[in-house]
Structure 1
Amino acid sequence: MKIVYMGTPDFSVPPLEKMIEAGHEIVAVVTQPDKPKGRSDQPMPSPVKECALKHDLKILQPGKIREAEVVEELKKLDADIFVVAAFGQILSQEVLDIPRFGCVNIHASLLPKYRGAAPIQMCILNGDKTTGVTIMQMNAGMDTGDILITKEIPIEEDDTAGTLFDKLMYLGADLIVEALPKIEKGELTPTPQNDSEATKCGKISKEMGCINWSDSAEKISYLVRGMNPWPSAYTNLNGKMLKVWKAKAFSKEEFSKLDGAKQCSGNEKPGTVCLVTKKDFYVSTGEGVLQILELQLAGKKRMDAAAFLLGYTLNAGDTLS
């Protein structure tokens, strides 16, 4: 098929590579304009642009894809289909109507769940056990189009937003290559989404990483995983930011069976360090206890709790806020 591909971040690169590998003709790659990055503040190409340059593909970088001259240029490409993956701009109905097979989107959730910008983080924050990728026929709404094909995977207990991002990135690449010939042959039946089951998710902000110790240990453990690698879950220890990179939730009953737990009253206020061992420490929460396994104090390197405790004196009764 003759394809116009629209994408910008790392998530969008494997689908482009897979479509090229499968023999599809990529007539153009549309990506966001170069943006300043790093200390040099020099404009840098998106990961998708770098991939397109490597394959010597035609590149378009419109500030606004809705502009009339951009729309005319897209029409001249005479593509069979537009494939979109985390492009970063909303397509107008005029753009959606250009290719004969319409526009399809690679979305990192099982729609209609988690329409929007941060489906990978949100499924972990909510403690979901499964997620997946949806190939969707795009319409003018935000991830509201008909479902063409989906693929589900389990969310492992140690998955973070980062590890799940990688899994879904490659799953999306495989699924779009599977879907394209079926779309061309008319073998996929579009299924309307059930709007009553829809959930939405906005962008992740740095403030969302702040730990509320009055939440349950389980909810905080989801936060730690869902905010990894960005913006990270964080708290304060003696006036310094402390990032928590890995943690495990214990119920009060489970915690009471651990060595040393008997010295804790079990009624410590949320955020209180209730047990310190040579290899880790435990913090009381609104419900249950959180074991801290990997962390990073402001100005220091990321390290496991055992290494941290070798160089920092932490005592039961100290508080995180």
Structure 2
Amino acid sequence: MKIVFMGTPDFAVPTLDALVKAGHEVGLVVTQPDRARNRNQVTYSPVKEAALKHGIDVLQPEKLSADQDTFESIESFGPDAIIVVAYGQFLKKDMLDLPKYGCLNVHGSLLPKLRGASPMQQAILEGDEETGVTIMKMAEGMDSGDMIAAAATPVDHKNFEEIHDELAAMGAKLLVDVLPTVEDGTAMYTPQNEDQATFAGLIKKSDGRIDFSRSAEEVDQLIRAFDPWPGAFCQLDGKTVKFWKAESMSVNCSEPAGSIVKADEDGLCICCGGSILCVKELQMPGKKRVACGDFLRGHKIEKGTLFN
């Protein structure tokens, strides 16, 4: 297949790599413009870096929907399909209608649940038993196109980074497996049930603040969903502390929310919404993540100390 690939972050790279490895003709890659990060140093997107390694021409329109030159370049290439994975911009109808087989998207949820920008984090936050990836043919609505295939995996006690890497690999394999059926006409296109649709919006840094009135299980889900960004955080003696690894315990607690009921090498046990959260790994401002035992050697914390 002749393919134009659109994507930006790490999540999209395995799919681009898999398409090249499978022998598809990836003639163009479209990704977000280079941005100034890390002390104003300009950095490429992960997808651009991967495309350059493969020797693929890269286009970086500031606003795809208004960039006629990009549209004409894609039109001139004549793609059989446009593959979109976490690109970060909307595609207008003229772009959606351009390829022979349409625009196909790898989305990190089991649609129609969790459309939008942060489905993997939201699946953890909501305590879903499973999540997955869906291949769909894109339509004008957000993540609303007909579904072609899906694959699921248990959430278990995985954090976002683990779910992200697993679904990125799953999505790459599923797409490569699906493309021959799209090409030979045997693919099945299933409309989404709009009544079952839910949405996952953009995450803000402030979303990582811990509310100790929530149950220990919910706080644990917050910690895992926001690892590594933005991190789950709270205050201790006026300083911001981040929690990275924790375990909810089926133990009732009547102490004030956020108070420490036990502190030792095994973890900080904190009362949360009537249950107990045992924090295994913490981080102070400007410091590295450390195990609880190492944290306690540098910080004297007694029973009854209050996080807020």
Amino acid at match of 1:43: V
Instruction: Give yes or no for the alignment of 1:219 onto 2:215.
Output: no
Distance 2:259 2:135 in 1: 46
TM-score by length of 2: 0.97
Q: Percent identity?
A: 43
Distance 2:262 2:289 in 1: 21
Deviates more, 1:118-127 or 1:297-306: 297-306
Q: Write out aligned runs for 1:147-158 (5 A).
A: 147-157=147-157
Once superposed, what is the RMSD of the aligned Cα atoms?
A: 1.0
Deviation per residue, 1:162-205 (Å, 9 max, x gap): 11100001111101100111100111110000010000011111
Alpha carbons 2:254, 2:274 under 8 Å: kept: no
Distance 1:161 1:278 in 2: 26
Alpha carbons 2:108, 2:120 under 8 Å: kept: yes
Alpha carbons 1:234, 1:241 under 8 Å: kept: yes
Q: Which residue of 2 aligns with 1:169?
A: 168
- How far residue 114 of structure 1 moved from its aligned partner, in angstroms, is 0.5
Distance 2:189 2:101 in 1: 12
Q: Secondary structure of 1:230's partner?
A: coil
Amino acid at match of 1:59: V
Deviation per residue, 1:229-288 (Å, 9 max, x gap): 1001001111111100011111225xxxxxxxxxxxx42110111112243221111130
Amino acid at match of 1:17: D
Q: Write out aligned runs for 1:24-103 (5 A).
A: 24-39=24-39, 41-67=40-66, 68-103=68-103
Q: Secondary structure of 1:141's partner?
A: coil
Alpha carbons 1:251, 1:287 under 8 Å: kept: no
Q: Which residue of 1 aligns with 2:287?
A: 300
Distance 2:83 2:297 in 1: 52
- How far residue 43 of structure 1 moved from its aligned partner, in angstroms, is 1.9
- How far residue 156 of structure 1 moved from its aligned partner, in angstroms, is 2.2
Q: Write out aligned runs for 1:254-273 (5 A).
A: 266-273=253-260
- How far residue 312 of structure 1 moved from its aligned partner, in angstroms, is 1.1
Q: Secondary structure of 2:164's partner?
A: helix
Q: Which residue of 2 aligns with 1:276?
A: 263
Deviation per residue, 1:26-47 (Å, 9 max, x gap): 11111111111111x1222111
Q: Secondary structure of 2:65's partner?
A: coil
- How far residue 131 of structure 1 moved from its aligned partner, in angstroms, is 0.6
Instruction: Give yes or no for the alignment of 1:131 onto 2:131.
Output: yes
Q: Secondary structure of 1:252's partner?
A: strand
Q: Which residue of 1 aligns with 2:178?
A: 179
Unmatched 5+ residue regions in structure 1? 254-265
Distance 1:176 1:197 in 2: 24
Distance 1:165 1:99 in 2: 29
Larger Rg: 1
Q: Which residue of 1 aligns with 2:104?
A: 104
Distance 1:228 1:178 in 2: 31
Instruction: Give yes or no for the alignment of 1:320 onto 2:299.
Output: no
Deviates more, 1:270-279 or 1:74-83: 270-279
Q: Secondary structure of 1:276's partner?
A: strand
Deviation per residue, 1:285-309 (Å, 9 max, x gap): 1130111111111232210101111
Amino acid at match of 1:111: L
Distance 1:140 1:29 in 2: 21
Distance 2:198 2:164 in 1: 19
Amino acid at match of 1:126: E
- After TM superposition, what 4+ stretches of structure 1 lie above 6 angstroms from structure 2? none
Distance 1:147 1:223 in 2: 29
Alpha carbons 1:279, 1:309 under 8 Å: kept: no
- How far residue 140 of structure 1 moved from its aligned partner, in angstroms, is 0.4
Instruction: Give yes or no for the alignment of 1:209 onto 2:233.
Output: no
